[in-house]
Structure 1
Amino acid sequence: MTYTCPSCGETHDSWPALAFRAPDSYVHLSAEEKENIAFLNSDFCVIEYPDQTDRFIRVVMTQKVKDHCSDLEYGVWVSLSEKSFQDYNDNFDNPNHQVQYFGWLSNKLPDYTFKDYIPCLVNTRPDNQRPEIVPRPDFEHPFVEDYYAGITKAEAELRIQMMFNRGQNPN
């Protein structure tokens, strides 16, 4: 599968990561709310509502593809508790900081219906790599089942096409 990247305009032969620019909660804010109650950069997002503060970090997730030599990668966001978010933020530049947090996947993935967000384990990695998430295996959702069983190459390519059609920016 080849694709033309909307960011750089180049044609690539490998699959793009399915990247989300922000958590869904941020995307659904009005322009005024984004300006007044939210902060977003490439690694952190904070939304300060009158009655609560939501905290998110950008992470990666890898989906096994059963009949192909490459797996499908996602660049997604997870929400963390205040304590976990603060610990991650405090150690953001520490290349040796390796811990596990609990978080909630905060993007709705293509080809799935979401009633609730998926609980995940968030594993920080050495050398300041983005944390990697793993969905909790005991959570009943078709994506969790597919995550552990794997998907086909055709399903992976369909998801990539769906992201392009939705106007997301795979990179």
Structure 2
Amino acid sequence: MTKIGGYTRSCCGISHEELPTSYGNPAPVYYYDAEPEEREDRFELDDDLCILDNEHSFIRGCLEIPVIGTDEHLIGGAWVSLSKTNFNTVENFWDEQESLEPMIGWFSTALPCYPDTVNLKARIHFRSDGKRFTYEFEIKLLLNLIKSFLIPAKELFISHNIKAYISGVEISSWSVYTYLDRKIKVTYT
């Protein structure tokens, strides 16, 4: 068995023995779509804000996924596009973001190992104490991500004649549309 010996932070070069729980994306996905020689002219980019072609605006926040059985979260730094009006509001209230109401934006980070996450509709929730904002995805789009996992899982279980249950309903008779509004728990025997 391979033992993971920790990691070294790219921002400061400090080594840590524990597993990383925070990952970052230095720029929105569109930055990587541009040719490297075009990036300096087309993007204004810092750690928290990005403007593409003086037209498209992005801010960086935290996608937080709770780690079951702990108080910890797996945190991914990710970008969301905002309308010019909302982007200007965020800039004007940068030091008092907790006073901002939630805003709608479009997820602008491609998450590895997931179906396409770019342009998922997201509600942005601002926080105090200089913490980056968090996201809440529009449920219909999030459910598409869930279905893209559950349907192949259902077929896998059925094809191998493995009894599996979702929220107490045997998977062979389970309908995606019937149970997506409930907390989903998959078990198999």
TM-score interval, smaller chain: 0.7 to 0.9
2:125 aligned partner? 123
Unaligned runs of 5+ in 2: 150-181
Structure 1 stretch 137-146 or stretch 9-18: which is displaced more? Answer: 137-146
Whichever residue aligns with residue 70 of structure 1, its letter is: E
Contact preservation (8 Å) 1:38, 1:46: yes
**Greater share of helix:** 2
2:104 aligned partner? 102
Distance 1:126 1:144 in 2: 34
Whichever residue aligns with residue 54 of structure 1, its letter is: H
Contact preservation (8 Å) 2:21, 2:73: no
Distance 2:184 2:108 in 1: 21
Structure with larger Rg: 2
- Larger RCO (CA within 8 A; separation ≥ 6): 1
Alignment partner for residue 76 of structure 1, among 57, 75, 78? Answer: 78
Matches within 5 A, 1:123-162: 123-139=125-141, 140-142=143-145
Root-mean-square deviation (CA, aligned residues, Å) is: 2.8
- The reply on whether 1:23 has 2:11 as its aligned counterpart is no
Distance 1:134 1:144 in 2: 18
Distance 1:95 1:116 in 2: 25
- The reply on whether 1:39 has 2:44 as its aligned counterpart is yes
Distance 2:146 2:23 in 1: 15
Distance 1:150 1:67 in 2: 17
Structure 1 stretch 59-68 or stretch 98-107: which is displaced more? Answer: 59-68
Whichever residue aligns with residue 5 of structure 1, its letter is: T
Contact preservation (8 Å) 2:7, 2:19: no
Q: CA deviation at 1:138?
A: 2.3
Q: CA deviation at 1:122?
A: 0.4
Distance 1:96 1:104 in 2: 20
Q: Secondary structure, in 3 states, of the residue corresponding to 2:94?
A: coil
Distance 1:62 1:78 in 2: 14
Q: CA deviation at 1:104?
A: 1.0
Unaligned runs of 5+ in 1: 152-171
Q: CA deviation at 1:71?
A: 2.4
TM-score by length of 2: 0.67
Distance 2:63 2:148 in 1: 15
- The reply on whether 1:11 has 2:16 as its aligned counterpart is yes
Distance change (3 Å), C-alpha of 1:144 and 1:60:
farther
Contact preservation (8 Å) 1:58, 1:75: yes
Whichever residue aligns with residue 73 of structure 2, its letter is: D
After superposition, what is the alpha-carbon deviation per residue over 1:82-114, rounded to whole angstroms, capped at 9, x for unaligned?
A: 111110011112265332110111111111121
Contact preservation (8 Å) 1:55, 1:79: yes
Whichever residue aligns with residue 22 of structure 1, its letter is: A
Distance change (3 Å), C-alpha of 1:15 and 1:4:
closer
May I ask how many residue pairs the two structures share in their alignment? Answer: 147
Structure 1 stretch 107-116 or stretch 125-134: which is displaced more? Answer: 107-116
Give the share of equivalent positions with the same residue, in percent.
22
